[in-house]
Amino acid sequence: MKTRIRVLIIALLAVLLPLAACAKGPDQPVDKGKPKTFEEGVHYLELFEPVPTAVPADKIEVVEMFWYGCPHCYRLEPHLQAWLKKLPDDVQLVRIPAAINASWSLLARAYYAAQELGILDKLHEPLFQAIHEQGRRLRSEDAVVRFVSSLGFDGERFRQAMNSLAVQTKVRHAIELGQRYGVDGVPALIVNGRYRVLGRGVHSYEEMFQVVDFLIDKERARRRAATADAVQGQ
């Protein structure tokens, strides 16, 4: 009997622990007002050491770290899409799948495999929908391949991509970036490798992007000041 209880506890933890790192989402739909400015330590955190970005030097990078299995990431997606429609020319979004454990790494591999095969735009939303609307359990490589095949793609080619050196390298890099950003839950938004939005400090998904826009303006001001200092130093 004791052995059976231990087995049940282990199985339960295997399900709950991945979700524990899926950060608590904003208290939707409560609206407690829109502050004109945002405070460091409350709404965002400046990273101790800036992380190099993956966009051109004239762009401001906004990173979204997510996990397909996270319900908060799923609910954030339409707000992210609305924000993207108004994206300024000097801002570029970079999506990074979080890979903090084996189950997360599996879906990170799926993300990067789709990217490698040029089908990410056709697979990103369906993956969210499969898990959160259809209740599909994509917890093994075979399950992911079957799902991809059901959409009309070459499942075996997708499997090869998931296990390719290129994808494995990208997943390792995603793990490293998550550590450098100090991410302990998702969704996580990082502005230009310098600032991380603190989800616990905002009251809605819309406000999360208000903080992002505030930090983008802050980064623009920092760049202008750096340019002015460089000119004065000549």
pLDDT (average), residues 195-205: 94
Residue 18 lies in a domain: no
> Residue 37 is encoded by which pair of tokens?
């400015």
CATH number of the domain that residue 175 is part of? 3.40.30.10
Residue 5 lies in a domain: no
Q: Are residues 81 and 125 in the same domain?
A: no
* 220: containing domain: 26-98+185-234
Position 106, amino acid: L
Residue 2 lies in a domain: no
Residue 3 lies in a domain: no
Q: Are residues 63 and 116 in the same domain?
A: no
Domain count, the chain: 2
Q: Is it the case that residue 22 has pLDDT exceeding 50?
A: yes
Long-range contacts (CB closer than 8 Å, 24 or more residues apart) made by 225-230: none
Predicted confidence (pLDDT) per residue in 127-164, tens digit: 999 999 999 999 999 999 999 999 999 999 999 999 99
How far is 74 from 166, CA to CA, in rounded Å? Answer: 26
pLDDT for res 37: 84
Dihedrals φ, ψ of 7, to 5°? -65, -40
Q: Are residues 107 and 215 in the same domain?
A: no
Give Cα separations from 114 to 73, 80, 164, 228 (angstroms): 19, 20, 12, 43
Confidence at 33, pLDDT banded by 50, 70, 90 = low
- What is the overall mean pLDDT for the chain? 89
Predicted confidence (pLDDT) per residue in 55-109, tens digit: 999 999 999 999 999 999 999 999 999 999 999 999 999 999 999 898 899 999 9
Q: Are residues 94 and 123 in the same domain?
A: no
pTM (two decimals): 0.87
pLDDT for res 232: 79
Q: Are residues 34 and 140 in the same domain?
A: no
